[in-house]
Structure 1
């Protein structure tokens, strides 16, 4: 009869199992409670569970029955290892009541095995004491292997070896401990317990017995599997072992080519988890309102990774690294710069080459017609020098493309600054020449002698030398240098040229802007001169384009990210260079090639009608 308290606990456990989605159940009970529990489970027909049993019941095949065939199918658990004890089987099977006439236990077992009685009775036969135990099939007579008995066997030998170690005496001292010898009459349980830790032996059936530095004995277990038969009986199959006396890699090992039956007749290992493990790239967060096996998985924040399953936290990648898409490892950040191989770099390179080609083509046309009036007008030397400087401007844009280095960073900014000043200086001198030429046509004017070819060359040289001095100071104090920008983009590195001294950079641009503004003002003042001097109108238009390009360049340069900053700078160089080339030289080339009749001194002097250049 089960007590109400125990029955209420069993009912609560069974009810929990009925409502639970868990597939794996650990049944850690004594044999008597296991019998009660399984009897209770039969009433509810709960199947489909993978039972893990404790050593108290996992080898008790008599728990199996037809009703429990599907419930206990595939049960597993660690059991005390099977072992044969030399001589014990023969002793047990040859034992008779006459050998131990005072033992009531032997008489009770004898009467049970042979269904007889040593006391005369009308209901049962009389036991003679000569019956043969080998004819009976029971747990007692199954002496092939022992489990709990083997532990008793080892324990007896353990105490014997401990006593031997305790009582061993050589030259007045114990050779194991170095302490004075102990007389057998002084043996105490405490002394025996102290000497057990020195014991290390192997039994006749091969079991190792010793204790480690923590006082723990060798843990030896068999992993057994219940494989139910059609008649409801259970075959308990040994499928592996656990032995701490083996090397760590072999402590737990399953037998090879062994059939394993899982619960619920499944062909695969059953999983019983509230939540699947958090994969790499996520972190594990415990939910305090749920059991410890029920947790949440959160993706790692930006810039962090987790490279382990169920990682409690995410790791920050080093500055030059960034997580991959799965966020399970850090990879080097890609380095971005304007390359010749990409589309934008190829297009800008193509436009630069086209500009160089057009500049050289114009130069060849002017050289071929250098004796014509339209080329000689306004000092042909300035035209040739301007075309040369425009060629250099187109070429210097190429220095902005490619991987930045110390030399390329210094070259691109200084070459750009000096070439553009040389170009603007030529345009400025041409504008001054236009104004001087108009003044020279007035009666009594002798102004051209103050700004002849020599003064023009010196002016261009002086304007350019000022920019050279600014660039030299810039390179000396704080030159441009390659820099890895990791702030604008988190996931990649921008390799760019830092300007070094911001004062030097803006001084170069400001000086170019100052000359361009001065040139624009002078050309604007000369825009209403007679048609023969209408080159001032072309210069005015070209400088208008030039100033518009560089005014819009400043906000675009500041706000553009990464390689687009360099692309904006190249675009500004190319646009302003094409503007100067197209506005100043293309109309003259058109006249030279397609209207050579207008390329005469009369047209240049305004004595015949002429078209605007």
Structure 2
């Protein structure tokens, strides 16, 4: 072989890996080809033996050819690459991607594994060959945004992978939103309507305050009970919208104190019914308990206990806004953390205790002979009240996120409507539509 270009025919099957890797990358090209041709030697037509020099350089130009075998056609060689001189810089391989020059009809690939897409990573060790791997999809919460990545990247707590798992996107914020949740509009409308209805009933009672049905069982207690029910409907709005620290602190404490005042009023009504019946007997010592001082003391004492529980809760470990980023994939639950679970259940437990005592006393006094005996209505109202809150507990514990808040709102509204309907609807019916019955009762 002379210094001019010499043609060397090399079987394509022996150089598939070499040529394919030349096509795949331009970096490290010299070393890759040296690996296959450094030990190649041959004898030229003149009988001279040809070797690479001590630096593994090609002393002359080489033309790589592929032997093509066609049906009914003679064999011929197809040039596929030219390597120039000792600088060893390959030219473009124009025929490299032509499948007709390969035996299988496909361009050979010099890799044992397909490239991993951006949503996956390499997993080594599944093959006896160290360079081989398999592609596994990134786990939940992680992404891969480049091909052939060996590791997936974990998204921040406030972000989540998109569907392609190649980009972290912000998580969906979940809470009872005024703009996105129709149930909030329903709660708001019902709360406002019930609040207006309670105010209307209060106005009726004030207007007809001198009638017997309003004066019975202490009309001041009825006023206080109506105001408490009205406030309980308004405190529903503390549960709606995005929670913040102040609304979290006012949620449970507000309706806890308000309901304690309302139930204490019913307890005072029930006790006064019992005292009024016993005071009708001649010489009864119960007469000294008649009047407005005893029911006022009952309401103040029992409501003050709930206030002390709430103040202690807020002083030791108050509720605060919290973000739950782990319960659901792809969304953050904006919620109120109770702070102290003992404080939360102490408020509910005391409220339930008051309701149970009121129910027992009203149940015992329901058959006392009195034309305006409210005990049977108080009994039914406490039965509705306790049923709502007992049913709320398992529903509250089995839900999360905004549905947990919706359960609380429903319990507040249902119990308030139960108190309003059981105690006052029949009285309003008599006042507005059966005034003769009211006068007839007075005559007795």
What is the deviation of 1:313?
A: 2.2
Partner of 2:28: none
- Summarize the Cα distance change of 1:558–1:225 in structure 2 as closer, same or farther, 3 Å threshold: closer
Q: In the alignment, what sits opposite 2:371? A: 532
Q: Residues of 1 paired with 2:64 and 2:347: CA distance?
A: 96
- RMSD of aligned alpha carbons: 3.5
Residues 260, 306 of structure 2: 8 Å contact kept: yes
| Structure 1 counterpart of 2:212, from 370, 373, 384 | 373
Q: 2:441 aligns with which of 596, 603, 608?
A: 603
Q: Partner of 2:253 in structure 1?
A: 414
The answer to whether the 8 Å contact 1:322/1:331 transfers is yes
Choose the corresponding residue for 1:384, options 202, 211, 223: 223
Does structure 2 retain, via aligned residues, the 8 Å contact 1:349–1:398?
yes
Over 3 Å counting, the alpha-carbon distance change for 1:533 and 1:34 in structure 2 is farther
Distance 1:410 1:586 in 2: 33
| Residue matched to 1:323 | 161
Deviation at 1:321, TM superposition (A): 2.8
Conserved? CA contact 1:72–1:263, under 8 Å: no
- CA offset at residue 466 of structure 1? 2.1
Query: Residue 431 of structure 1 aligns with which residue?
Result: 270
* In 1: Cα distance, 2:293 partner to 2:399 partner: 44
Residue 339 (structure 1) aligns with: 177
**Mapped pair 1:510 → 2:345:** no
- Which residue does the alignment assign to 1:470? 309
TM-score, with normalisation over the residues of structure 1? Answer: 0.58
Determine the structure 2 residue equivalent to 1:264.
Answer: 99
Q: CA deviation at 1:421?
A: 0.8
Tell me the distance in 1 between the aligned counterparts of 2:114 and 2:161: 23
Q: Which residue of 1 aligns with 2:55?
A: none
Out of 186, 200, 203, the position equivalent to 1:361 is: 200
1:221 is matched with 89
1:72 equivalent in structure 2: 78
Report the counterpart of residue 458 of structure 1 in structure 2.
Answer: 297
RCO comparison, higher one (Cα < 8 Å, 6+)? 2
The SS at the match of 1:599 is helix
**Structure 1: how far apart are the matches of 2:432 and 2:370?**
20
CA distance in 2, matches of 1:590, 1:64: 105
CA drift of 1:457 comes to 2.2
Q: 1:495 to 1:271 in 2, by over 3 A?
A: farther
TM-aligned CA distance change 1:308 to 1:444, over 3 Å: same
1:546 aligns with 2:385: yes
User: Aligned equivalents of 1:34 and 1:544: distance in 2?
Assistant: 110
1:492 aligned to 325, 328, 331, which one? 331
Query: Structure 2: any 5+ residue segments left out of the alignment?
Result: 1-9, 23-32, 46-57
Distance in 1 of aligned mates of 2:112 and 2:44 = 26
Closer, same or farther in 2 for the Cα pair 1:317/1:265, shift >3 Å? same
Q: 1:458 to 1:285 in 2, by over 3 A?
A: same
Of the two, which has the highest radius of gyration? 1
- Change over 3 Å in CA distance of 1:25–1:279 after alignment to 2: closer
Name the SS of the counterpart of 1:278 in structure 2: coil
1:112: which partner in 2? none
Please give the alpha-carbon distance, in whole angstroms, between the structure 1 residues aligned to 2:43 and 2:157.
61
Is 1:562 paired with 2:430? Answer: no
Q: Is the 8 A contact 2:264 2:302 kept in 1?
A: yes
Task: Evaluate the alpha carbon distance shift between residue 379 and residue 291 of structure 1 in structure 2; reply closer, same or farther with a 3 A threshold.
Answer: same
Matched, 1:394 2:233: yes
Displacement of 1:389: 0.4
Quote how far apart the aligned CAs of 1:558 are. Answer: 2.2
Alpha-carbon distance change, 344 to 315 in structure 1, aligned in 2, over 3 angstroms: same
Q: How does 1:150-229 map to 2 (within 5 A)?
A: 221=89, 223-225=91-93
Taking a change above 3 Å as real, the CA distance of residues 298 and 372 of structure 1, as seen in their structure-2 partners, is same
1:300 aligns with 2:135: no
- Indicate how the Cα distance of structure 1 residues 603 and 33 shifts in structure 2: closer, same or farther if over 3 A, else same: farther
Separation in structure 2 between the aligned mates of residue 25 and residue 396 of structure 1, nearest angstrom: 73
**Paired residues of 1:23 and 1:271 also in contact (CA < 8 A):** no
| Counterpart residue number, 2:49 | none
Q: Secondary structure at the match of 1:585?
A: helix
Would you say the 8 A contact 1:538–1:584 is kept in 2? yes
Deviations 1:227-274 (A, max 9, x none): 7xxxxxxxxxxxxxxxxxxxxxxxxxxxxxxxxx842379xx967365
What stretches of structure 1 of length at least 5 have no aligned partner?
1-9, 36-53, 81-147, 152-218, 228-260, 608-613
Structure 1 Cα separation of the partners of residues 430 and 384 of structure 2? 23
Q: Does the aligned pair in 2 maintain the 1:31–1:57 contact within 8 Å?
A: no
Q: Is the 8 A contact 1:336 1:494 kept in 2?
A: yes
Name the residue aligned to 1:234: none
Q: Counterpart of 1:403 in 2: which secondary structure?
A: coil
